[in-house]
Every structure is written in structure tokens, then in C-alpha cells.
Chains A and B, each alone.
Chain A
């Protein structure tokens, strides 16, 4: 499986990255992409900005390891992970995951698996700043439950 992992401190263009990813494929017939962006508002009011931290080196190694696992579980031709760090405003893209396989099921499942890891297990720390101040965000119970779905499930195919 070909792979690319980028942790970026500047804004990125998901549509341009998806186009580059798609054009790089040699055999895959199915491409699944997920883009996450900064919400305009959260439960406790308007989000004025969002900040993401990572642990350079260790964060990338963790994502590499989860891509190894995805490659073992599903027959993927390629996978792409781009994740923002630093300060972001509403509607800025935060994360892009793209997967490509011969048929759709593997690409859907692998993208879902990778996002579950990125939401609740990858080494990122996220804070929101609004009128009330800065709060550090933790994954929701649903995010942890989503990630656990894969813990003892066999791979698709």
C-alpha cells in the first residue's frame, strides 16, 4: 500500500489533495475521502478559534502504525492522511483521510477505521477558545465507542 502522512501547520486545500491522490492511482476503482472542518459553533456557544497540538515524531509514528494495520486488514492500493495543527478558524479543514481500493467496501471501512483512530487515539490535543475562555476538548463517549468497534473485529476484504 502506498501511503502519505502529513501534519501541517498551514491551511491546506482538501479538493486539491484529493485530486492529486486520485491521479496517483494505478489500479484502484474506489476512492473514499473524509474531510473534517472546524464547526461554526459548539454546544456552549460560538467557537472563535480552535488550536491543535501534536507531539512531533511520536504522533507521526502512531499514524504510520495504524496505516500498517489498515494495510493488513484491507486490500488498499493507497492511503492519505493530512492533519492540521496550530490555530484554526471556523470552516478551516482539520483532517483529510483518503483511501483507495479495487472495490468500495475496503475503502469505506478503512477510511472509517482511520478516522476513529484519529479522533480518539492519535496524539493530538485540541482546545477551543470562545467568549468564555479556552477549554481543552476530549473525545465524546461515542468517539471512544466507535474506536472500540475495531478492537477485535477481523478485517474486511
Chain B
């Protein structure tokens, strides 16, 4: 057979040979070919089958169905006791104080890590800009919504971070959620940490790429997935050649307080040829000697990370977000980042406030060291509370106080922790439980009180916070066991 193919392939078509081959073929072979030919002809001329054509309704039947159809209500009823309906109202906010529902307390609930929210310098910078540019920009960047303030800010951040290009968004959430689908498309593959924030999850969903989750902050598990994929790629090299692969992680995980092992990550990146996107919303202006984030902290080259996204709604104390990277990577978002192209640009006054915050850290160089020592103090003080577990890195300003043993009912545990939050407010400490959409999260973290440490906290305040939490945590636990 192989010889025949070779022969036909090389020599010109020989009819006599074909007739000869036909004569020599066994009968069952000819019968089989005839059946095949008949089948193909039938297939060509038969009516195509589709689901729609099987349901042919008359006009009257349609009317009937329309009349009979009863929709569900637009939204199902909600629990009238849900905390979101009884939201706490803030009437005053300063660098480390917050007035919540009329009660003042020390703030360890909001992400104002550097106390930039409440500093007069940032407010003055914002007001000065407002007096020239107004508040809103009345248009997206493309249509006269680009102010020199935006351009200067982008240039400043790129220079400050030692990358080629920065791109400014008007909403922190939309920054990473728009950046991911600008690159990752259908048919691509994303390796993602199980602990990533909801904004990243939305970006991944919008990308329609294939997702593979690895265990939270577990580089060995990531490598296992990468190896599996490498084997798969060898089997199907054509597909592998066009499939883009990404790893998406956070620098400092907002839902866990853990820090990514960026050194190992970069090693894996080059070994398996996978691009790395990192959300530094919580680690930017927090980690590293000069606040340049997790790459500075780990002492790796920032340009080894393909894309870094940062929300300005945490340490910078304003609104918006930006992405950092090479010009080749970042500029693509100027035409493909949905939240960039189709949204009004950031009010320039808020960009000025962020810019001023960057300037302040240049002058007060010890600010990051001080934040770090506050973080460590709280970590030591709150570790080892009986019945509780403190999640998060010692140097992270975000810490999650969780129950050591879960009751198995997520909402019940959350309500239990909420009791500590309510009583702490009476004692002058503002806390919050971390809120999630329980049904929507890919991997719902266990309930927690999320503590966000602030650099402006004095020693007295730190002591007060930890002692209030310790006492209340123990008291609430005791009451629970007594109740049972």
C-alpha cells in the first residue's frame, strides 16, 4: 500500500495501473466503497437537521405561548437584615480616625496605609488642580479627555518605577479587570492563584480564556500545572504555538495578606515561557524599602514582570489605577483596554492628589520602615489568640483574623466576627469584616475581620487596638461557649 502511494506520488497518473488495481481489489473492498459513496450522496442531499426546524409553531401558538409565559420578578427579595442595607455612614474621615454612625474610633478598617487620605498636602494639590481643570473631564481619553495632568502623571509613575510606560485608569477595580482581557483571549490559557481578588476574577471571566487555578501561593503546585501543560504542548505543538499563556497573581493578596514568591515566579516564567501579570494594588507603596512594591522587596528586576497593575484607592488614598510595563505591552491597552477607551478619564484633581502622595514619600523616606514596624507589632500582638488564627505575612499591613475552627456555616461565622466589630466601635476601634459575594467568588475565603494597619498609628493607639481586639475576641468566644 505504502509503495503504491509512493509510486502514484512520484509518477504521472497511469490509467492502466488504476484499472489493474481495481481488478485485483477484493470484492468486500469494492462493496464497502460503494456503500460509502451512497452514504455520502445521501448526506449531501438529505435535509439538514437543526433544532429550530423541528419546532414549527403557528402564529396563534406563538401568541398563546407569549400570553402564558410568566417571568420571575426582576430581582429576588433580599434579607432585610443584610448588613449592606444597614450600611455604616461615615461622617468624618482623617488619617487614622473615622467617625462611623456618629462614633469616633481609631481606623484599622480602610486601606489608608500611608495616611495619605487626610493629609493637607494632597488636598491642597487636588484643590489647586480643580481650580484650573474643574472636576470631571467630560470625555474619554480619546475625545478631549486627556489633560496634561494625566500625561504628566503617567510619565512620573513610569519614571518613578523604572519602567517604560504607565497607563492611567479612572477606577481601581476596572484597571486589572480591563487589562487582563486586553491580552488574554479565547483560546489562551491563564494560570491563576486561587486567592486572587474579585477584580482579577472578573478580568479572567471577560477574557474567556481557559483557566487553571493553582493552590494559593503554592509555587510547587503552579509548577506542577506548568509541567502538565508542557507535556500537553508537546502532544499538540501546533496549538501550543499560538496559545498565549499567562500567570496572574497578586503582589500582596488582599484576601489573605500573603506575599507572592516573586523570585520563584520569574524563574518559572522563563523556564516555561509564560507571561506574568501581577496586581500590586495592596503591595505598591507598602512593600520595599522605598515602597516600590513586591519586586523591590524581593530584589528582583521589575521589568521581568510583564504587566503590573496598581489601584490608587489604597495607599495613595485617592481614586483610579494604573498599569506599568514596557511600551510594547502597555500601549496596547490604549486601544484595547475597555475601561480605558470607553470611560471618562480620571478627574485630574485626583491624579494630582496621587502625584503629591508620591512626592511625600520621596521626602519622608522612613515612612515605609515605620509602616512595616507597625505591621509587625500588630502581628505579634494578635498572633496566637486562643480560638483564632491570624492570616497574613508579619510585614503585611493586611491581616485576616479568622476563627480557628469553623462551624461549617460561613454566614454564621461571619455574623460571629461581626459581633467583635460592633463592640470594638463602642470601644473606639473601627474594624470591618471582609465582605464577599459568597455565591460569586471562585474560591470563597473563610470569613475574617480584615485589619488594615496605618502608618500614622501611635504606639498608644497600636496598644489600644490590639488590647481591644484581644479582650473582645476572647469575650465573644466565651459567650458563645456559655450559650452552647
Specify whether A and B are partners: no
Binding site for A on B (CB under 8 A): none
Binding site for B on A (CB under 8 A): none
